[in-house]
Every structure is written in structure tokens, then in C-alpha cells.
């Protein structure tokens, strides 16, 4: 979707129509949680790159002309196995899995219930492992192997008040990525995308009105929130031949993260006020 805080956000729709290293024609891609938000953008980017795309979720997407959909609760190992088997039965292969399903509401760490914490960890750490295991069994038997991309978060790399279990699960996901990359090489590559503050269709529910969104965007060195296309671009790279020697990586897509607040407290290092650069011309 368009980034409400910056018209310079990238648009991948016109850059993937011609054959090239990011071309995914003839490949089958599964995106968990691919019916909305970041996952929806990732699925659209792979479709634009020519891939056969399957998305899963608990409810089908609103649009009828989107990618193939299969209902699945990724926390259920039997449901995950059936989903992967169904993809292989329909398309004959599975080349790329993007473990995108995840998330958690903000909650006070002191009062969060054990059941709540268990559910958060199950969705954001154990479910990606379950999906990866099912995909790996298929990919190891394929001549071309496969690629798994886990969508992590900057919450994995810094304190995240109100999201203790979520942040810990995402930190675990980064370590899981590196561990599986070692165990499953060379046939299957496993990488992560560490996403920063991303503007989706729920941006106003998360941050507030346009003014609040702009204030949040101003804390990012790139002077804007990220978009699903930003995350999708990293996924396309990691699953492409350009990344043939890349595995166990955690690619940070966060616009430079955040301006150090201690500099402002010291009265030093004022933030630059220059506007963001114009988007690159992708016509050539």
C-alpha cells in the first residue's frame, strides 16, 4: 500500500515484469499470513515476479482475483502438514516459503497471563518452525532445493515495552533462522528479514491519525515508515539466484532504525531536516 507518511515509498509493481535475477516464473511460493498487511504485499510482489503463489490464513482474503488461498492455523502441526502436502499435490513442488504469520497486541508484561504468553510464542516462534520443517521435507527432495524466509522484527533486537513475549519470540526466530541454515544447507537456504516500522492498512489503528503517523515516521533516519513493498523486495532478493550464497542472514529492513534519543537529551546531534530523496527511476 502507499505510505501515508512519504510519497517516495517504493512501488515494485512495474519493476518485475521483465526477465531478470528476481524473476520467479515457474516457482511455487507459499506465504503464511498472506491475506493482509505485510504478507499481502509479499504475495503480490511474488505474483508480479511471475511465481505461483499460495497464501494461508484463518479467513480468506476479500478480493477474488488474488493468489490461491488455503485455510490454515499455522500453530496446528497437522494442519500445516496438510497445507504443504496440498500445495505439492496441486503444483508438484514448493520452492519458497515466507513465514510471515505473526503479531501480538500490546500488553503489560507484569500482568500478561501465562496463556497469553504461550499463544504469542506459539504463533511467532513455534509456528514458523513447524512450517519450516514441513517445507524442508519437500525441499530436501527437490533437485533445486528451496528457500525459506522468516519475517522477524526490530523488536527482536531491542527492548520492546508492552511486547515482551513477542520480542523474545522474534529474537528466537532470528536464532532459529541461523540454526536451520546450518542444519539444512546446502539444499535449503534459510534467512530472515528483520522488519522495522511498516505502514500497512492498519497504520492508523496502530499509531493514530496522520499527524501521529508523521511523528513516528520522523523518528526513522529514512524519514518515512516502511511499506510492505520494502519487506517484499528483501524477500525476493533472498529467494533469488542473487542470494545463492546467502543463508543464515538476518537482513534489516528498518530505514536505519531510530534516531538515538540520548543525543537529543544531551542537546547534541539534531536530526537532519532534509526531505527524503525521490524514488529511483525504475523505467530503465
pLDDT value at position 13?
A: 52
Q: Are 56 and 32 in contact (CB under 8 A)?
A: yes
For residue 137, give the 3-state DSSP assignment.
helix
* 9-13, 50-54, 103-107: least confident range: 9-13
Decide if 166 is catalytic: yes
Q: How many CB atoms lie within 10 A of CB 138?
A: 19
Q: Which three cell numbers stand for residue 100?
A: 510471515
pLDDT value at position 205?
A: 80
pLDDT value at position 258?
A: 85
* Res. 94: pLDDT tops 50: yes
Instruction: Supply the DSSP string of 197-259, one letter for each residue.
Output: SB--TTHHHHH-SHHHHHHHHTTSTTSS-B-HHHHHHHHHHHTSGGGTT--S-EEEESTT---
* Res. 146: pLDDT tops 60: yes
| Sole residue written with cell 545463492 | 244
Strands, E, within the chain: which ranges?
28-32, 52-57, 68-71, 96-99, 146-153, 188-195, 250-253
Alpha-carbon span 50 to 18, nearest angstrom: 10
Contacts of 258 by beta carbon, 8 Å cutoff, 6+ apart: 219, 220, 221
Active-site hit among 166, 237, 245, 262: 166
* Res. 126: pLDDT tops 70: yes
Amino acid at each position: 500500500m502507499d505510505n501515508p507518511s512519504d510519497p517516495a515509498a517504493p512501488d515494485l509493481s512495474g519493476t518485475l515484469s521483465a526477465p531478470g535475477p528476481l524473476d520467479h516464473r515457474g516457482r511455487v511460493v507459499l506465504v503464511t499470513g498472506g491475506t493482509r498487511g505485510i504478507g499481502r504485499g509479499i504475495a503480490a510482489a511474488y505474483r508480479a515476479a511471475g511465481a505461483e503463489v499460495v497464501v494461508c490464513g484463518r479467513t480468506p482474503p476479500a478480493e477474488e482475483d488474488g493468489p490461491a488461498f488455503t485455510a490454515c492455523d499455522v500453530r496446528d502441526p497437522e494442519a500445516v502438514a496438510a497445507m504443504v502436502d496440498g500445495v505439492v499435490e496441486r503444483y508438484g513442488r514448493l520452492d519458497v516459503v515466507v513465514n510471515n504469520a505473526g503479531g501480538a497486541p500490546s500488553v503489560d508484561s507484569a500482568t500478561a497471563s501465562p496463556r497469553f504468553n504461550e499463544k504469542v510464542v506459539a504463533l511467532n516462534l513455534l509456528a514458523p518452525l513447524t512450517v519450516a520443517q514441513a517445507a524442508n521435507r519437500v525441499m530436501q527432495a527437490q533437485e533445486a532445493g528451496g528457500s525459506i524466509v522468516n519475517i522477524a522484527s526490530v523488536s527482536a533486537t531491542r527492548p520492546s515495552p508492552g511486547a515482551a513475549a513477542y520480542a523474545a519470540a522474534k529474537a528466537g526466530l532470528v536464532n532459529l533462522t541461523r540454526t536451520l541454515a546450518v542444519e539444512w544447507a546446502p539444499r535449503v537456504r534459510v534467512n530472515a528479514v528483520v522488519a522495522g516500522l511498516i505502514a500497512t492498512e492498519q497504520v492508523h489503528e496502530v499509531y493514530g491519525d496522520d499527524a501521529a503517523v508523521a511523528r513516528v515516521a520522523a523518528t526513522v533516519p529514512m524519514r518515512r515508515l516502511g511499506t510492505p513493498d520494502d519487506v517484499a523486495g528483501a524477500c525476493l532478493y533472498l529467494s533469488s539466484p542473487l542470494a545463492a550464497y546467502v543463508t543464515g542472514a538476518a537482513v534489516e529492513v528498518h530505514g536505519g532504525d531510530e534516531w538515538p534519543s540520548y543525543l537529543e537529551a544531551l542537546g547534541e546531534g539534531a536530526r537532519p531536516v532534509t526531505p527524503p530523496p525521490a524514488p529511483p527511476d525504475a523505467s530503465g
